[in-house]
Structure 1
Amino acid sequence: MQLRFVASLVGTLAVALSPHVAQAQAGDTLAKAKSSGIIVLGVRESSGALSYHLGGGQYAGFHVEICQRIAEDIEKAAGRKVEVRYVPVSSESRMGDLTSGKIDLSCGSATNTTARQQEVGFLNTTFVEEARIAVKANSGIRSITQLHGKTLVTTRGTTTVQHLRRHERGAGIKFKELYGKDHADSFRQLASGKADAFLMDRSILAGNIATAANPADFTIVDEPLSLEPIAIMIRKDDAGLRKLGNETIARLISSGEMARLWDKWFMQPIPPANRSVGLPLSEATKAVWADPNDKPMEQYRRR
């Protein structure tokens, strides 16, 4: 009787604890990959040359390729074959998809901010971005001050409009706001004339212009709104993945592979249109590669 009671108690405790064990493992990507043999990358469908859909379930881009290198190192750490799966996410859904366990890394275009750090974690910065404005080349808009009374579009779930409002030259400017469901939708609203300007990261603007039917119809205003550290998002307390991912990034930088990836995705012709984004490596990005860190945007000097 006593032995049966002990066995029953152990079984009851195991059942009671199993959800908590599963939840803990869901937050530990390396343990999850080792047990399930699966790693899930959250990817974007139109984030310029960072992450975009090629069709047929294939995704490509600078951040996608970095995430693939991280996945290769996860496979080595797991000591088994690990299948890489791709799940499209949006600016709105990406953090929720990450914290819920739907994806393991968010491989799009995420700015590291102190507010976001309350919910998710970030690997070391892969490049420093500038928020800018794309307009039609014949619009005559060449300055932030010329946006007064205009209609601006940005992508839902991003922070670009807040940057404009905080910018000293944006003080007092009144404008109508539109929101695209993704970056491609925002760009379509600019192209169709529904919006006079598209506010977003320079690389995303350049990527969408490069794939437009007539790239010469558009231009990026040469006036940055902010400096933003762009990084791959992970779950907040996923210490094992943070260490491994940062080691992967450090190796890519020290070996020169990171610079080659930048050249591949931002300076060379890329599919499907086989056009170059034409975005040279910035001095700010070179500086962060020389001193890898995960500092949030608030620690960067505003222009």
Structure 2
Amino acid sequence: MKKACLVAYAALVATVLSAPACAEELSGTLQKIKETGAITIGYRETSLPFSYIDDSQKPLGFALDICGKIVDEIKATLKLDKLEVKLTPVSSATRIPLMTNGTIDLECASTTNNIERQRLVSFSPTYFLTANRFVAKTSSGLKTIDDLKGKTVASTSGTSNIKQLFEANTARQLGMNILTSKDNAEGFLMVENGRADAYVMDDILLAGLVASAKTPSDFAISTDQFSMPEPYGIMLRKDDPAFKAVVDRAATKLYTSPEIATLYAKWFMTPVPPKGVNFNFPMTPVLAKAFAHPNDSGDPKAY
């Protein structure tokens, strides 16, 4: 009896002593979420079909659906009965500062994961691969990068797209007049109203802009591309391994399950709200491979 009591007492002491240790294991974003009971997600307003707002100003999209799975994993990991999701709009210029200063915990949009950005933030395993191209009016006959010589060309500030545009302008001595837009909608409008001859952006985003136009046949996407297909990832804070482990676990579960094909078809192979735009953009073999073998490399050659 005495021995049994001692064993029970030892177990009780061990439990009490281990409780603070378990609490101390939480740090960074997970600790913040546990203490506040909330997670803040950054989204874009015009990055159809990844992250955008519908006619009622409701944020939705492929990236936000993926983040919903991540939120479920966080909730289960922290054993929370409920977890409030706060949504904050971000832009190309504000997304990284808002992440690094703690305003948002995840950015669920259309952000390219590259080596330069990995110095500042981290990314989930890749969920899309896209190439940098341009859109122009069909009547212009602009199809290749060299066709842009002496033309007025726009791209969005704070993106890898405009960086590659400047690099091509210098390397090829094209003498372009480069304008900046605040987002995709404004950049495409510049082409529509004649302020710019072309708008440079990720091909899938251009496809969405064209499909949403009043007369899609008035616009054509370039055959040339400024880059190899580049990876998109859900952005999170750097140097937070515990939180990244949860994000990666959620993404890997989704990507390697049959559910990812259903989710992809929902956003790229069927009409999406609010205008019923259908991208008709089948999953590429390289993206299927990235889903089957998830990784967070920012190097296009890794895919």
Establish whether TM, by shorter chain, passes 0.5. Answer: yes
Displacement, 1:164?
A: 3.7
**Cα separation, 2, equivalents of 1:47 and 1:244:** 26
Superposition map of 1:120-199 within 5 A: 120-166=121-167, 171-199=172-200
Choose which of 291, 294, 300 in structure 2 pairs with 1:292: 294
Work out the CA distance in 2 between the residues paired with 1:136 and 1:300: 34
Residue type at the aligned position of 1:92: A
Q: How does 1:18-33 map to 2 (within 5 A)?
A: 28-33=28-33
Greater C-alpha Rg? 2
Match of 2:215 in 1: 214
* 1:87-102 map, 5 Å: 87-102=88-103
Residue in 1 aligned with 2:70? 70
Counterpart of 1:155 in structure 2: which amino acid? T
User: For 1:281, what is the secondary structure of its paired residue?
Assistant: coil
2:10 corresponding residue in structure 1: none
3-state DSSP of counterpart to 2:294: coil
Name 1:105's counterpart in structure 2: 106
The separation in 2 between residues aligned to 1:150 and 1:27, in whole angstroms, is 51
The two structures have a TM-score, normalised by structure 1, of 0.86
Return structure 1 stretches of 4+ with deviation > 6 angstroms: 24-27
Rounded to whole Å, the distance in 1 between the matches of 2:262 and 2:164 is: 31
Structure 1 position 48 matched with structure 2 position 28: no
Relative to structure 1, the CA distance from residue 269 to residue 102 in structure 2 (aligned partners, 3 Å threshold; closer, same or farther) is: same
Q: Is the 8 A contact 1:234 1:242 kept in 2?
A: yes
CA RMSD, Structure 1 to Structure 2 (Å): 2.2
Letter in 2 for 1:275: V
Q: Tell which deviates more after alignment, 155-164 or 136-145.
A: 155-164
Give the partner amino acid of 1:36. Answer: T
In the alignment, structure 2 segments of 5+ residues that lack a partner are: 1-23
Please state whether the residue corresponding to 2:174 is helix, strand or coil: coil
Deviation at 1:62, TM superposition (A): 0.7
Conserved in 1, the CA contact under 8 Å of 2:231 and 2:300?
Answer: no
Percentage identity across aligned positions? 36
Distance in 2 separating the partners of 1:28 and 1:140 = 52
Q: 1:166 & 1:95 partners in 2: Cα distance?
A: 22
For 1:26 and 1:178, how far apart are their aligned partners in 2? 46
Single out whichever of 49-58 and 261-270 deviates more from structure 2: 49-58
Cα distance between partner residues in 2 of 1:32 and 1:265: 32
1:9 is matched with none
CA contact (8 A) 1:53 1:60 kept: yes
Please name the residue that 1:243 is paired with: 245
The SS at the match of 1:41 is: strand
| AA in 1 matched with 2:175 | K
Which amino acid is the alignment partner of residue 239 of structure 2? D
What TM-score do you get using the length of structure 2 for normalisation?
0.86
Give the structure with the higher percent strand: 1
Match status 1:84 vs 2:85: yes
CA distance in 2, matches of 1:117, 1:140: 38
From 223, 234, 259, the equivalent of 2:236 is 234
The alpha-carbon deviation at position 188 of structure 1 amounts to: 1.0
CA contact (8 A) 2:41 2:108 kept: yes
Counterparts of 2:104 and 2:52 in 1: how far apart (Å)? 17
SS at match of 2:131: strand
CA contact (8 A) 1:106 1:232 kept: yes
> For the Cα contact (< 8 Å) 2:124–2:234, is it kept in 1?
yes
Q: 1:164–1:170: 8 Å Cα contact kept in structure 2?
A: no
Partner Cα separation in structure 2 for residue 284 and residue 162 of structure 1: 24
Mapped contact 2:212–2:275 kept (Cα < 8 A)? yes
Look up the equivalent residue of 1:69 and give its one-letter code: K
Q: Is the Cα–Cα contact under 8 Å of residues 129 and 287 in structure 2 kept in the other structure?
A: yes
Q: What secondary structure is seen at the aligned counterpart in 1 of 2:140?
A: coil
Report the CA distance between 1:57 and its aligned residue.
4.0
Within 2, Cα distance between the matches of 1:252 and 1:60?
Answer: 18
> 1:170–1:60: structure 2 CA closer, same or farther, 3 Å change rule?
farther
Contact 1:26 1:101 survives alignment (8 Å): no
| Counterpart position of 2:12 | none
Moved more, 80-89 or 245-254: 245-254
Distance, in Å, in 2 between the alignment partners of 1:52 and 1:26 is: 33
In structure 2, distance between residues paired with 1:154 and 1:25: 44
Q: How many residues get paired?
A: 278
Q: How far 1:239 sits from its partner (Å)? A: 1.3
